[in-house]
Amino acid sequence: MESESGVLRGEHFLSGNEACAEGAIAAGCRFFAGYPITPSTEVAEHLSERLPEVGGMFIQMEDEIASMNAILGAAWGGMKTMTATSGPGFSLMMENLGLGIMTETPCVLVNVQRGGPSTGLPTLVGQGDMMQARWGSHGPYEIIAVSPSSPQEFFDLTIKAFNLSEQWRVPVLVMADEVVGHMTEKVTIPEPGTIRLTARRTPRVPPEKYLPYEPDADLVPQMAIAGHGYRMHITGLTHDRKGYPVINEEAQAELVERLVEKIRKNKHEIVEYQEEMCEDADVIVCSYGISARTSLLPIERAREEGIKVGFLKLIVVWPFPDELIDELAGHVKGFVVPEINFGQISLEVERCAHGKARVILVPHAGGGIHDPEKVLEAIRRAAA
What single-letter DSSP state applies at residue 200?
Answer: P
Contact 47, 71 (CB under 8 A): no
Q: What does the pLDDT look like over 64-121, one tens digit per residue? A: 999 999 999 999 999 999 999 999 999 999 999 999 999 999 999 999 999 999 999 9
Last residue of a domain, one of 177, 194, 211: 194
Q: What does the pLDDT look like over 145-176, one tens digit per residue? A: 999 999 999 999 999 999 999 999 999 999 99
Strands 29-34 and 57-60, bridge-based pairing: parallel
Domain count, the chain: 2
Last residue of a domain, one of 167, 194, 221: 194
Which CATH number do you get for residue 29? 3.40.50.970
**Could you tell me the residue range of the domain that residue 96 belongs to?**
10-194
Residue 7's pLDDT is 82
48 falls within a domain: yes
C-alpha–C-alpha distance, residues 192 and 6, integer Å: 10
How confident is the model over 12-37, as a mean pLDDT?
98
107 falls within a domain: yes
Last residue of a domain, one of 194, 221, 252: 194
199 falls within a domain: no
Regarding whether 285 and 178 lie in a shared domain, the answer is no
Regarding whether 190 and 277 lie in a shared domain, the answer is no
Indicate the pLDDT class of residue 193, thresholds 50, 70 and 90. confident
169 falls within a domain: yes
Which residues lie below 8 Å from residue 355, measured CB to CB, with a gap of 6+? Answer: none
252 falls within a domain: no
Regarding whether 134 and 18 lie in a shared domain, the answer is yes
185 falls within a domain: yes
Regarding whether 164 and 300 lie in a shared domain, the answer is no
Regarding whether 190 and 50 lie in a shared domain, the answer is yes
C-alpha–C-alpha distance, residues 35 and 51, integer Å: 16
C-alpha radius of gyration, the chain, whole number: 21
Regarding whether 308 and 179 lie in a shared domain, the answer is no
Regarding whether 142 and 35 lie in a shared domain, the answer is yes
Regarding whether 296 and 175 lie in a shared domain, the answer is no
Residue 330's pLDDT is 97
Share of the chain above pLDDT 90, in %: 97
Regarding whether 85 and 187 lie in a shared domain, the answer is yes
Contact 292, 370 (CB under 8 A): no
User: What is the separation, in whole angstroms, between the first and last Cα of the chain?
Assistant: 53
Contact 321, 294 (CB under 8 A): no
Residue 2 has pLDDT above 70, yes or no: no
Find, among 221, 198, 199, the residue nearest to 210 by Cα.
Answer: 221
352 falls within a domain: yes
User: pTM, whole model, 2 decimals?
Assistant: 0.97
Which CATH number do you get for residue 365? 3.40.50.920
Q: What does the pLDDT look like over 231-262, one tens digit per residue? A: 999 999 999 999 999 999 999 999 999 999 99
Regarding whether 177 and 40 lie in a shared domain, the answer is yes
Indicate the pLDDT class of residue 6, thresholds 50, 70 and 90. confident
Regarding whether 173 and 277 lie in a shared domain, the answer is no
Regarding whether 188 and 42 lie in a shared domain, the answer is yes
Q: What does the pLDDT look like over 210-238, one tens digit per residue? A: 999 999 999 999 999 999 999 999 999 99
Query: What's the Cα-to-Cα distance from 29 to each of 98, 161, 328, 358, 379, rounded to whole Å?
Result: 21, 11, 38, 43, 42
72 falls within a domain: yes
Average pLDDT, the chain: 97
